[in-house]
Structures are given as structure tokens and as C-alpha cells.
């Protein structure tokens, strides 16, 4: 069994609480186990790591160094605090061992570039993604689109843009590709609506509506369309993809797409402060 180590800002959050069960139920259940876990801090209202580890049956690590030393592959969690990812991943990215960094990858494009540069300097395999990329509807859409050009993508889903917008942006970049030039936030407080302009006739729309299910539409080729109103199997497929990455050391995601997703979240977050005004996407 290969050992997975968890590194988190605070450990009692949904991903850390559920990934061990998902790993145990995955296609790789006989190959991987969560061996140790470490948190940076305890947060009021959340279980401290001693309690969490006892309840989960996962040993507690005393340091990031211990996680890196004892494990074959590393998951840097902190899904709601991406501003901690660069610091929390510093040692893992210098380890040469496969590292998965939870979504969103980084809180700025500059931080993301530094993390990628560090991983490359130490030959560390690196992967980061929203689970939504791996939903079967996205895979099926790619197969249906085949070699046709994608001209338009529209997605809807719930949550706060800075943390959950990635769940719409990741499938958009997967299907529409890279090269976004500018974004505009033109929704309301209750319904965030971001338009993405590629300046070559491609357009994307990301809409965050409270309690809205994950949905997307794609326009491609000569009148081709994909309409998806339900996305349900993304987490099991994501876990299999992450564990497959741990096994091979080969990320299924081009790093250029991960950087573009980060740049779009950063630009979209800035654009929230200036509604109805175009904001440039970093590169």
C-alpha cells in the first residue's frame, strides 16, 4: 500500500473528512491508504486534529517534514483557504514525490507560477483541479465535440465566486481551452455572472446562483450543442484520477490550463469590485 499524507490548514473540513472514505471505495482501494495527517492550526468550531485523527483512524503527523518523509504521495488540502497553498506546499513541491494541491490551486497567478516553477526545479509531479473537470458529462462532451472548434460555453452552479467559481471555470477551460484575455462581472449580489472574452469570437459565461445545481451548455462546430443539466459522478471519477496520478506521476491536466484557471479566478475576483467593466486576465 502506498502512503498518502494529508497537509491541511485546518483538518476538519469537507474534503479531508470525505477523501479517506472515497479513496477506500475507489478503483485504487488496494493500492493507497491515507497514512498520516497534519494541520497548521485549529479553528474554533472545528475538531482539533487529535480528535479528528482518533475518529478517522488516521495517525497524526507532528510536522510537514514528517508527512513528506513518511509518505509516497502528498495531498495539500486547505480548499477554502488557497492563500495558504504556496506555504503549505513548499516542502512537498521540493520532495520529488507526486503532490496534489486542492482547489483553487493558488490565490494569485504569481503564486501559482512560483509553485509550478518550484515543482519543475525539483522534478516533482504536480496536479490540481476542481473535481467537476472529471464528471462524465465533461468527458462525454469532449468526445462529442471531437476536433470541432468550441465557440461558446456557459455554466451555472452555487457558491461564493472566489472559492467555488472554479467549479464552473474548470470545465470551461477543459472544453473551451486557454487564451482568455479579459473578464467582466455583470451580475448581482445574488447571482454572479462573469463573461469571459477570448477576442477570437470564443466566449464563456460563468453564473453562480445560490442552490443552483451544476449545469453547462457548449456550442461547437456548425451548430453543434451539448446541454447538461445534471452533474453527479465527479467526485468518484476525480478520486480515481488523483490516485492514477499518484501511481504514474503523470498529471492528466496540462499545467497551462491550471494556470489559466487561476488567472481567471484572480481576474474575476478583481472584476467583482468594478461591475460592468472589462478586467484583463493575467498571463
Q: Output the CA–CA distances (angstroms, integers) from residue 150 to 142, 183, 208, 281, in the order listed.
A: 10, 18, 22, 20
pLDDT of residue 199: 85
* Spans of all domains in the chain: 2-128, 133-231+265-280
State whether the Cα torsion 245-24-94-69 is positive or negative. Answer: negative
CA-nearest of 104, 103, 6 to 52 is: 6
Q: How far apart are CA 220 and CA 167, in angstroms?
A: 21
Q: State the fold for domain 133-231+265-280.
A: Dihydrodipicolinate Reductase; domain 2 (3.30.360)
Query: How confident is the model over 77-122, as pLDDT tens digits?
Result: 999 999 999 999 999 999 999 999 999 999 999 999 999 999 999 9
pLDDT band (50, 70, 90) for residue 190 = confident
Query: How confident is the model over 26-80, as pLDDT tens digits?
Result: 999 999 999 999 999 999 999 999 999 999 999 999 999 999 999 999 999 999 9
Q: Cα 27 to chain center, whole Å?
A: 21
Q: How far apart are CA 7 and CA 81, in angstroms?
A: 13
Q: What is the pTM of this model?
A: 0.96
pLDDT band (50, 70, 90) for residue 283 = confident
Residue 189 has pLDDT above 90, yes or no: no
Residue 277 has pLDDT above 90, yes or no: yes
Angle (CA) 140-127-38 rounded to 5° is: 125
pLDDT of residue 187: 87
Query: How confident is the model over 150-183, as pLDDT tens digits?
Result: 999 999 999 999 999 999 999 999 999 999 999 9
pLDDT of residue 276: 97
Query: Which residue is it, cell 493558488?
Result: 106
Query: How confident is the model over 236-263, as pLDDT tens digits?
Result: 999 999 999 999 999 999 999 999 999 9
CATH superfamily of 2-128: NAD(P)-binding Rossmann-like Domain (3.40.50.720)
CA-nearest of 78, 247, 252 to 89 is: 78
Amino acid at each position: 500500500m502506498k502512503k498518502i499524507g494529508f497537509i491541511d490548514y485546518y483538518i476538519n473540513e469537507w474534503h479531508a473528512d470525505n477523501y479517506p472514505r472515497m479513496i477506500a471505495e475507489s478503483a485504487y482501494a488496494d493500492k493507497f491508504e491515507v497514512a498520516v495527517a497534519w494541520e497548521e492550526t485549529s479553528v474554533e468550531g472545528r475538531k482539533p486534529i487529535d480528535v479528528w485523527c482518533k475518529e478517522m483512524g488516521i495517525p497524526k503527523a507532528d510536522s510537514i517534514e514528517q508527512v513528506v518523509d513518511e509518505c509516497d504521495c502528498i495531498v495539500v488540502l486547505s480548499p477554502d483557504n488557497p492563500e495558504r497553498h504556496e506555504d503549505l506546499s513548499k516542502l512537498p513541491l521540493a520532495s520529488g514525490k507526486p503532490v496534489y494541491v486542492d482547489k483553487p490551486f493558488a490565490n494569485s497567478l504569481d503564486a501559482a507560477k512560483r509553485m509550478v516553477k518550484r515543482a519543475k526545479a525539483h522534478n516533482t509531479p504536480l496536479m490540481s483541479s476542481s473535481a467537476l473537470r472529471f464528471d462524465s458529462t465533461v468527458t462525454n462532451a469532449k468526445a462529442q465535440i471531437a476536433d470541432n472548434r468550441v465557440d461558446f460555453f456557459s455554466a451555472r452552479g452555487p457558491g461564493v465566486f472566489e472559492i467555488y467559481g472554479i467549479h464552473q471555470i474548470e470545465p470551461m477551460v477543459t472544453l473551451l481551452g486557454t487564451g482568455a484575455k479579459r473578464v467582466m462581472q455583470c451580475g448581482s449580489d445574488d447571482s454572479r455572472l462573469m463573461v469571459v472574452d477570448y477576442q477570437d469570437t470564443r466566449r464563456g459565461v460563468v453564473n453562480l446562483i445560490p442552490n443552483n445545481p451544476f449545469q453547462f451548455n457548449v456550442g461547437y462546430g456548425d451548430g453543434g450543442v451539448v446541454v447538461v443539466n445534471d452533474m453527479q459522478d465527479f467526485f468518484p471519477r476525480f478520486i480515481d484520477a488523483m490516485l492514477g496520478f499518484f501511481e504514474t506521476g503523470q498529471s492528466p491536466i496540462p499545467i497551462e490550463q491550471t494556470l489559466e484557471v487561476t488567472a481567471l479566478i484572480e481576474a474575476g475576483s478583481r472584476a467583482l469590485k468594478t461591475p460592468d467593466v472589462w478586467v484583463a486576465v493575467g498571463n
